Structure 1
């Protein structure tokens, strides 16, 4: 290996790309320097767009254009320092024939790591072989050893000794699992999908024929319907839910600037979304739901995080039918899978049922592994 091509995949949102670009530029310089130290000539696979103010691949169309100029027989590095939409480049990676290495920054400020994990999972699902590395400063022994291994052997084998086969549980646990599994297969359950395929997450879409074999089936819903239903929730209902939260000790640090602060109006809209989501889940008999939000709703409503967190809890503001005659999902959580990650949806639903059966609080919060460090 004498020459490698490297590319920078990014977000669809230009503001996110512009904010992350200075960090990406510095990281690329570090990578090129490390490769040069190893005798490797690095070629950037696409130009920086000075008009846009960044050098990320920011759409699937742009990705197609970039890969038309990349030799599929040349080793390829995908350098990531921010969240990225995997479908921007997945097409090119699927047909690339040379070794692929994904690299991410280990940072608590920019989500390159979680972006890389998403891209890795998408390639795994697509059957694309790849190697992966990460680092905080790109000069540590772990990173340099891994990079050298990839250069010389075209793959990296990580230490997996911490991962051990699951030891079968005792008879009561096995019997409980078997009983709940049989019930799910025979009674079946519905996952409400508010627009599939959030932020390019190909890995988060479970093919129906695989999902159905577990007893789960998709109800494909629309975020347009959720937006409409949010507008049908009256002010008094949202205000009552806010009072419910305040009475139980939830603290909101409100400001006056919609652009930079959390405002009371935003929270009231989030609570309307919460009521709307529960009502739609009831309409379709859903056992769990997932809201995409990041595409579409982000331009229409405040962030869905508060609604999602409340849905996943048994202790939450009561939601009633449109006529007020019924309390919906009374005494139960409505398991929600963030960003319509159907894999997390399976986990959330199964966890909810197991923990409920065992008498545990079934509240769940399944999201990303972002960053960690040693303290103390």
Structure 2
């Protein structure tokens, strides 16, 4: 009997795997969530919007764009919002790619990249990271062909942590043809303290083929509300806004995002606490003999290879994110939970 069949891509498309649940939120170091609860001012603003949930949200996201324009120093027509930066990425690739196009991206990097590429009908061209877990931008530039439509750059790289520097990106962009779209994914930009790290917004000037992705999920702690955005040339932002499903972002999410931008000083204190804890965790791991790449996000990466799944099981009840055959990513959480993880990691090494 015949029945409706999806596109053939679904015969090979892997499902996105969310971080492993834990018996309490505090023990969940597998999803790169912000460990702090919502700021009272943000929670109050979002809660107010609950009282009008019978109304459709503002499809134009006007309040969000006004606030982002003022905060980031960009024009409103350079912005396109969506359901997290990953939602914006899916929309962007669907709008700019079709069958026969290629998308170059680093690997290992964000797990959603190959899924988004395949769903857009394009062909992924993954390029291996360097030995220090950073982007090999020379190899990525070498991989660009006449079929290349988009190149993805993730800084800091998820799940390994290193950044792309300004000089590295400038040299790379000099080799990218003007008709190839370069996407800088900066989901963890607010955690970066590397003095030479690229800042995607600074790189936009004078370039018509470059966009930057940002999110409110990580530093701002709005992961559950799903809101992110793109900054880029007005012509590209306009296409993405057109391709985004109507009413994709709720007014609750928009209100929380705007309130977060207004509470940036309070959020900055939280960011500094997370960054300081990250440095302490990385220092402790290295002192215990672990090979930990430089990280400028809110996580650390342990390149455990074939031992990744066993190590993740060993860390219970702390939940960490294992990438089978590659490594384990551990989010920076509450100091007490980080200490439990470090104890488990030390016991693992002692037993080897």
TM-score under structure 1 normalisation?
0.27
Q: Which structure has the greater CA radius of gyration? A: 1
TM-score under structure 2 normalisation?
0.29
**Higher relative contact order by CA 8 Å / sep ≥ 6: 1 or 2?**
2
